[in-house]
Amino acid sequence: MGFGSLKWAVTSRPDGNTPKLQPLGEFGRIRRFFAPLATSSGALGLTDDAAILDLAPGQQFVVTTDALVEGIHFLSNDPPALIARKALRTNLSDLAAKAARPVGYLLTLSLPRSRDDAWVEAFATGLGRDQAEYSVTLLGGDSVSTDGPVTISITAWGVVEQGKAVLRRTARAGDLIFVSGTIGDAALGLLAATWRLEGLAPADSAWLADRYRLPQPRTDLGVALGPLVRAMMDISDGLVADLGHLAETSGVDAVLESARLPLSAAAAAVIADHPELFTSCLAGGDDYELLFTADPANVEAIEALGRQLRVPVTAVGRIVARLQDASQVRVIDADGQTVEIAETGWRHS
């Protein structure tokens, strides 16, 4: 790239001879930390006004964006590498939910002056690690200074064959409802990360907190599920709330069987001691698992795919015809009795 030889400048302080590191400044940070992440030739090494992308014939772009704000979506003292990876991964999860293969992303960073070059370096290192894991590249961005909180905005895109992106609004009565992975770990993980879960084995506590801090976008599963599913989205606001979004936009209702909810071993241990937290698993946000519906004829193919990719997929309910004036999601227990869910997930404000 030609940026590898750039060195930190060392100057003398005006009051003596002690050398100190001179801040790199915006352009220095871009050259040193971010240009090496722009591995696609279309990014032009972040030296031009815009990136230039090829789109193969018969393919479509799928584009999504997500912003994270300090104090709201992450804590001020969270490790910068983890903040960066969560910011990127929430976008990759949205692409996976459209059955799109990720390609690249734009990054806009609003940073207070208190975030020094070491913070930015660690942030960029986190991005680089996930770029390698998910085969995406930085294509450009902007960096501004602010008196407000750290704000990270990422716009990501992927590609999908023409007409093959999976939408939310296409669920039909008779479809089965599935989720990937395990549900509720992130809601319990937030409690664990903020020391509000007592009596839990340290290993379980750490595992749950990690599920909150570092989502696992289901990229390979989402792409492979494309031809087998009718409607799909990712779970960011909580299973009940997001299933409500899917049902509403599809013009159908959903019946969710709470006894089928796939729980991790750590979550099951929490629920055994605190049964009241089961509602948090149904309603809590930040799981970033896939929620999808499919024709029952595809169950075996879907389950085989889950085994092949080593991601559990679990049928948790069914889509039914819309009942006027009813809530879009009815949660029932093992006896078929309706369960009232007081908290229905995170609301966007």
Please report, as ranges, the residues that interact with Mg ion according to CB under 5 A. 94, 234, 236
**Residue placing its CB nearer to Mg ion in the complex, 66 or 185:** 66
CB of 317 to Mg ion, least distance (A): 19
CA distance 54 to 179: 34
**Residue placing its CB nearer to Mg ion in the complex, 93 or 205:** 93
Count, residues in the chain: 349
CB of 234 to Mg ion, least distance (A): 4
Which residues sit opposite 138 in a β-bridge?
105
**Residue placing its CB nearer to Mg ion in the complex, 171 or 197:** 171
CA distance 328 to 188: 25
CB of 236 to Mg ion, least distance (A): 5
CB of 301 to Mg ion, least distance (A): 24
What is the arrangement of strands in the sheet containing 313-321, beginning at the earlier edge strand? 231-234, 290-294, 176-180, 313-321, 252-257, 329-332, 338-339
**Residue placing its CB nearer to Mg ion in the complex, 270 or 311:** 311
**Residue placing its CB nearer to Mg ion in the complex, 94 or 204:** 94
**Residue placing its CB nearer to Mg ion in the complex, 140 or 345:** 345
Euclidean distance between the first and final Cα of the chain, in Å? 42
**Quick check: helix, strand or coil at residue 56?**
coil
State both tokens at 119. 């913070």
Structural contact between residues 149 and 70, judged by C-beta atoms closer than 8 angstroms = yes
**Residue placing its CB nearer to Mg ion in the complex, 46 or 291:** 291
* Angle, CA 126 vertex, CA 125 and CA 129 arms, to 5°: 85
CB of 305 to Mg ion, least distance (A): 21
**Residue placing its CB nearer to Mg ion in the complex, 84 or 290:** 290
CA distance 122 to 142: 18
Q: What is the DSSP string of 264-313?
A: -HHHHHHHHH-GGGHHHHHH------EEEEE-GGGHHHHHHHHHHHT--E
Strands, E assignment, 150-309: 151-161, 176-180, 231-234, 252-257, 290-294
